[in-house]
Amino acid sequence: MVKVAALATDGLEEIELTGPQEALEKAGATVTVISLKAGEFQAVNKDIYPSNKIRADLAIADAKAEDYDALLLPGGLASPDALRMNKDVVAFARAFVKANKPIAAICHGAQTLIEVNELKGRTVTSWPAIRTDLENAGATWVDNEVVVDGPYVFSRCPDDIPAFNKAIIKHFKLA
């Protein structure tokens, strides 16, 4: 069984976690939601409207990258920004990169990978607002619904979730 770690915190764009999580679990994966602390955090809809509370299964301080086969980085404005500022999150993501494990990022989720400093020479996509950040990190940004480059899968926004889900199921070796 493929074990997927999903990193998120307050300000998560809810559908960018729940859509892929549902698809991955339906395909046979186990998804563990990891946040800055265990317990609930506030998700949003359309980046600003409070939606549901999401329960984190594990705090990042208690998570070990070696326990997982793949990493999911959902977006939202606030969640990726808070995650990228946390040294434990950055170390966790870096461990996936160093182990060449598959990583999927949608929307602003790729911001965490900027902190890992491993995007140079990669082709990526994201929400257009972070295009310059990704290019400054050495990536080539393209406006496609899904981009696969090596161990990475990138997608732009909630509208792309069906294509993103299909790509991550294949990339995480569930299909």
Q: Are 53 and 41 in contact (CB under 8 A)?
A: yes
Contact residues for 169 (Cβ-Cβ < 8 A; gap 6+): 23, 24, 27, 175
Compute the distance between CA of residue 146 and CA of residue 124 in angstroms, rounded to an integer.
9
Average the pLDDT over 76-91 and give the result.
96
Compute the distance between CA of residue 133 and CA of residue 13 in angstroms, rounded to an integer.
20
Q: For residue 49, what pLDDT is reported? A: 87
Confidence of residue 113 (pLDDT cuts 50, 70, 90): very high
Given the structure tokens 């809810």, which residue do they identify? 14
Contact residues for 87 (Cβ-Cβ < 8 A; gap 6+): none
Compute the distance between CA of residue 101 and CA of residue 119 in angstroms, rounded to an integer.
15
Q: For residue 19, what pLDDT is reported? A: 98
pLDDT surpasses 90 at 79:
yes
Mean pLDDT rounded to a whole number for the chain:
97
Q: Which of 23, 54, 93, 107 is catalytic?
A: 107
Tokens standing for residue 137: 């990190």
Tens-place pLDDT, residues 12-66:
999 999 999 999 999 999 999 999 999 999 999 987 888 999 999 999 999 999 9
- Listed by start position, the domains of the chain span 2-172
pLDDT surpasses 80 at 152:
yes
Confidence of residue 122 (pLDDT cuts 50, 70, 90): very high
Average the pLDDT over 153-175 and give the result.
96
Q: Which of 84, 108, 122, 171 is catalytic?
A: 108
Closest CA to 155 of 108, 122, 114: 108
CATH number of 2-172: 3.40.50.880
pTM of the predicted model, to two decimals? 0.97
Element (H, E) at 89: helix 87-98
DSSP state of 139: P
Annotated active-site residue 107? The verdict is yes
Q: Give the rounded distance of the alpha carbon of 105 from its chain centre.
A: 4
